[in-house]
Amino acid sequence: MTAPTAALSNAAPSSDHTFLTDFHHVATIGATDNDGVDRQALTSEDKQTRDWMRSWAEGNGFEVRVDAIGNMFACLEFVPDAPYVLIGSHLDSQPLGGRFDGAYGVISALFAALRVKENVAESGQTPRFNLAVVNWFNEEGGRFAPSIMGSSVYAGLFDLEEMLAVCDLEGTSVAEALAAIGYNGADTPPEAISYAEIHIEQGRILERESTHLGVVESSWYTQKLDIDVLGEQSHTGATAMADRHDALVAGSKVVLAVHDITAEFDDEALVSSVGQHVVEPNSPIVVPRRVHMVADLRSSDPAVVIAARDLLRKQIADIARAHDITINVEDFDIREKRYFPEAGVELAEKAVANEGLSIRRLETMAGHDSVAMNHRVPAVMMFVPSVDGVSHCEREFTTDEDMVRGLGVLTSVATELVGG
């Protein structure tokens, strides 16, 4: 792990140095032994980063609000009753996740907002809109599915009450977990006029092309399959093979079918994996009665995902018949392919050109809060390079230099959006 840069006592509050010090400090919250973080939504580690953000924001003159689904907003009011430009990302992580995914976007947004605040004070020029930094609840969806939850409730895509009732694998609901860490807010969230987010690319395009930043033109089409394989529990010693209804044997064929279906399409047109897989009762001498799994299907072309899903449903029905067991398949978390507004893409390109940096347009295959916000307001989504294109794992890495560059561009974009 890179040694956190020692805080220079005389460093300006919004300086690059202070930004890096604070970023590397947050990366120690929920730190794992292999340079990653484990800060799943509403765990005590998530609470610690929320508390850190609240004290940082209040210490720098922001008003902090928490809404009913646990989204946190650090608000700067320049113009009474004017709507807000929202900038931000998420502080929650995947299990054994990376230090940069989400956290980079929140901390750079805090510093970009602080710089806008300082510039407004210095210039005496009143912006057109207000500015708020947001830490979205449960972007990752590792503990509570579906992912991109808090921003989808804010954007009106998900129903608040339905999401508050979602439970984790232990049966704890979102509502209970929010109350347990004291972030079951009741504040009215700021009304957004536009949204901007900066994030690590999580792929290897920028690195391969030695390009400083990316700007997102479109988001992928995706859906998940909730697959429940229901066999029969029995003794692994005393039960004749002909009498077994082994959910894990059939389930394993389903996992392979989800992987192998990608070969039916042009190279990389479809990406798919089963990421979550729970065996019950998971005892060494019991034939498994149930396997619950979630498959994630994504493509730039909606027709590919739909065709893959239909093919998979047929193959899974054949597996169920062959094993004489029940397999239930439910579609969920379907997200349409969407394009980001051209004006926002050009705004990012202009901000980057002003800094003498290089930029390229690309599609995002990873989900982001900007994908939800793009349904509600004009959104701008930018990327900085990921070393080796690795993410959702402890090896995830982005250099201090790239992080500072992205902060500079986000500050320019936020300044433009508030009309400063």
End-to-end CA distance of the chain: 38
Cβ neighbours of residue 91 closer than 8 Å, sequence gap 6 or more? 26, 39, 46, 49, 50, 53, 102, 103, 106, 135
Q: Is 392 annotated as a binding residue?
A: yes
Question: What's the closest the beta carbon of residue 118 comes to Mn ion, in angstroms?
Answer: 28
Q: Answer for the pair 336, 221: CB distance below 8 angstroms, yes or no.
A: yes
State the minimum distance, in angstroms, from the CB of residue 366 to ligand HGY: 4
Instruction: Please say which residue, 201 or 416, places its beta carbon nearer to ligand HGY.
Output: 201
**CA dist., res. 259 & res. 255, Å (int):** 7
The site partner of 251 among ligand HGY, Mn ion, none (C-beta below 5 to 8 Å per kind) is: none
The site partner of 16 among Mn ion, ligand HGY, none (C-beta below 5 to 8 Å per kind) is none
Least distance (Å) between residue 47 CB and ligand HGY: 20
| 101 annotated as ligand-binding | yes
CA distance 108 to 196: 11
Judging by DSSP bridges, how do beta strands 379-384 and 234-235 pair with one another? unpaired
Nearer to ligand HGY, 102 or 190 (CB): 102
Minimum distance from residue 202 beta carbon to ligand HGY (Å): 8
In angstroms, what is the minimal distance from the CB of 260 to ligand HGY?
22
Q: Which is nearer to Mn ion, 305 or 366 (CB)?
A: 366
Least distance in Å: CB of 232 to ligand HGY?
34
CA angle 54, 55, 58 (to 5 degrees): 80
CA pair distance 413, 213, nearest whole angstrom:
13
Say if residue 199 carries a ligand binding annotation: yes
Q: Is 259 assigned a ligand-binding role in the annotation? A: no
Q: Among residues 247 and 366, whose Cβ is nearest to ligand HGY?
A: 366
* DSSP assigned state of 212: S
The interface partner of residue 102, options being ligand HGY, Mn ion, none and the CB cut-off 5 to 8 Å by kind, is Mn ion
- Residue 367: closest CA among 153, 107, 146, 165: 146
- Does the CA dihedral 37-190-147-164 come out positive or negative? positive
Q: Which is nearer to ligand HGY, 145 or 404 (CB)?
A: 145
Residue nearest to ligand HGY (CB): 367
> What are phi and psi for residue 20, nearest 5 degrees?
-65, -40
Q: How far, in Å, CA of 128 to CA of 418, rounded?
A: 6
Output 118 or 363, the one with its CB closest to Mn ion. 363
Q: Which does 412 bind (CB under 5 to 8 A by kind): ligand HGY, Mn ion, none?
A: none
Tokens coding 267? 């190279």
Q: Which is nearer to ligand HGY, 213 or 366 (CB)?
A: 366
90 known member of a binding site: yes
Residues 267 and 384: their CA atoms lie apart, in Å, by 26
Residue with tokens 């608000």: 75
The conformation of residue 334, written as its DSSP 8-state character, comes to E
Interface with ligand HGY (CB under 6 A): 139-141, 147-148, 366-367
**Residue 97 has what DSSP assignment?**
B
User: 141 contacts which partner out of ligand HGY, Mn ion, none, CB within 5 to 8 A by kind?
Assistant: ligand HGY
d(CA 406, CA 213): 7
Site of interaction with Mn ion (CB under 5 A)? 101-102, 366-368
CB of 90 to ligand HGY, least distance (A): 8
Please state the residue numbers annotated as binding site for Zn(2+): 90, 101, 140, 199, 392
Please state the residue numbers annotated as binding site: 90, 101, 140, 199, 392
